Amino acid sequence: MSYKVLLVDDDENILDVCTRYLKLEGYDITIAKNGEEALKLFHKVAPHVVVLDVMMPIKNGWDTGEAMRQEQDTPIIYVTALGQEHDRLYGLSLGADDYMVKPFSPKELVLRVQNIIRRVYGKSDRKEEKGSLLKHHHLTLDLEKRQVHVAGKEVELTLKEFELLALFMQHPQKVFSKSQLLEKLWGYEYMGDANTINVHVRRLREKMEENPSKPAFIHTVWGIGYKFEGNRHET
């Protein structure tokens, strides 16, 4: 199977180089030079991964990514010259699955695309396994269907939010440091800020908890990181 990647950037040199490297790995590449063109191709091509520049004419990457997120949970890697902490955190708050700051190595981009595809699509052909359904009180997570329900109501999560919650539920009471969580979620040594994890935990609490300021599921372990409060139940 040839996985499809939508590359979006107004810099032709970046498009050319990234296209060349990704094609060498067997990916089917579609390119767009602005947000409006990207949205049209997003609907037409149905890519497996989107690599999205932020600072573009006509429609910027933030707005384009938000529009994509409203329709599909396709993984998005933001690529931008905006490298300040507040820029990265803003991108993550929009549901970014990864964030790269220019200039970057095309080989690193290939690695990040590979990691996302392996995590998201690598298990799609496997038969359902025992233990694919994790439960804790009124919280249920289905690893195969990639669905989460709280009190019977489905909760929409991004890829990283789902992976983080699954990791916690598979290891109840285990305390994870932020650096451990970054490494496990991204699959390589992440060069970003550990506040990335804070953003994802906050978003999970806002979506799942009755009172996010007094969480029942994901607890903060001050000075270390986080843990999931509960026992592991599988069906």
- Using the 3D structure, point to which of 121, 153, 177 is the last residue of a domain: 121
CATH number of 164's domain = 1.10.10.10
Which residue, of 121, 151, 172, is where some domain finishes?
Answer: 121
Q: Residues with Cβ < 8 Å from 131, sequence gap 6 or more?
A: 143, 234, 235
The C-alpha atoms of residue 102 and residue 122 are separated, in whole angstroms, by 28
114 and 147 both lie in a single domain: no
Note the pTM of the prediction, 2 decimals: 0.62
| Number of structural domains found in the chain | 2
Question: Residue 217 is part of which domain span?
Answer: 133-234
Does residue 211 lie in a domain region?
Answer: yes
Task: Specify burial of residue 201 (Cβ count, 10 A radius: 0-12, 13-18, 19+).
Answer: buried
139 and 190 fall within a common domain: yes
Tens of pLDDT, residue by residue over 58-107, are: 898 889 998 898 888 888 999 888 767 777 777 777 777 888 888 889 99
Burial of 27 (0-12, 13-18, 19+ CB in 10 A): buried
Instruction: Write the pLDDT tens digit of every residue in 152-178.
Output: 899 998 888 898 999 999 888 999 988
Domain boundary (97, 121, 145) is at 121
103 and 45 part of one domain:
yes
The enclosing domain of 41 has a CATH number of: 3.40.50.2300
For residue 128, is it within any domain?
Answer: no
